Amino acid sequence: MDNRFNKVFSSFNPLNIEFSPGSHLIDIFPSHFSFHLFIKCSDNNLENCSNQLNDTTIMFSLNHSHVLIISDTGIKNNIAISITHIHVHDKPIIKTIYHAANITLTEAELFAIRCGINQAVNLLGISKIVITDSIHAAKKIFDLAIHPFQIHSATTSKELREFFLTNSDNSIAILGMS
């Protein structure tokens, strides 16, 4: 197998409109985002946080105009596997599985979120995108600092910008434990 394409390339483009001052999603659409953090402090609190996360997820999944993106990512033997499930009104709509070599866990998680958002914004009648259990990776989408994952941030930002401009009530919620 030819691994020459699995090298790390610099992906930061300082001229990208998504990263110019005043053009950040968080600046233009501040009311379209919500983060629901459930803080775990102990093993006893972990069960409570898990129950809160489940209850919040169920609440969001009851609405026909909400899409729920559930992703899981892992790396074994230098191969990343990302699985993304997309549900609307508690019914599975799309399931995607990706395999990639020589990438970090954060990059795999961002890629799974990016693919989920790409699928969600193309569904008809969706006004809210809910991403579960990817707080750490999802925050990278809104991170304005220079980091190696900005190629995913720029693409996801562009898709969300179009989603928010389609309807002023469209929004995204990110749920997870920190």
pLDDT digits (tens, 9 = 90+) for 12-51: 555 666 666 666 777 788 888 887 776 665 566 667 777 7
In eight-state DSSP terms, residue 134 is -
In eight-state DSSP terms, residue 142 is H
Q: Roughly what angle, to the nearest 10 degrees, separates helices 150-166 and 105-120?
A: 20
- 64-109: pLDDT as tens digits: 899 988 888 888 888 888 888 888 887 888 888 888 888 888 788 8
11 is a domain residue? no
12 is a domain residue? no
CB 133 within 8 A of CB 177: yes
pLDDT of residue 164: 92
10 is a domain residue? no
Kindly give the pairing relationship between strand 66-76 and strand 33-38: unpaired
Number of domains comprising the chain: 1
Name the more confident of 125 and 62. 125
Q: Print the SS3 string covering 72-138.
A: EEEEECCEEEEEEEEEECCEEEEEEEEEEECCCHHHHHHHHHHHHHHHHCCCCCCCEEEEECCHHHH
CATH of the domain at 114: 3.30.420.10
Region 43-64: mean pLDDT is 75
Which of 42-51, 101-110, 114-123, 138-147 has maximum average pLDDT? 114-123
Print the domain residue range for 71.
Answer: 29-177
CB 99 within 8 A of CB 140: no
Percentage of the chain lying above the pLDDT 70 cut: 69
CB 173 within 8 A of CB 130: yes
164 is a domain residue? yes
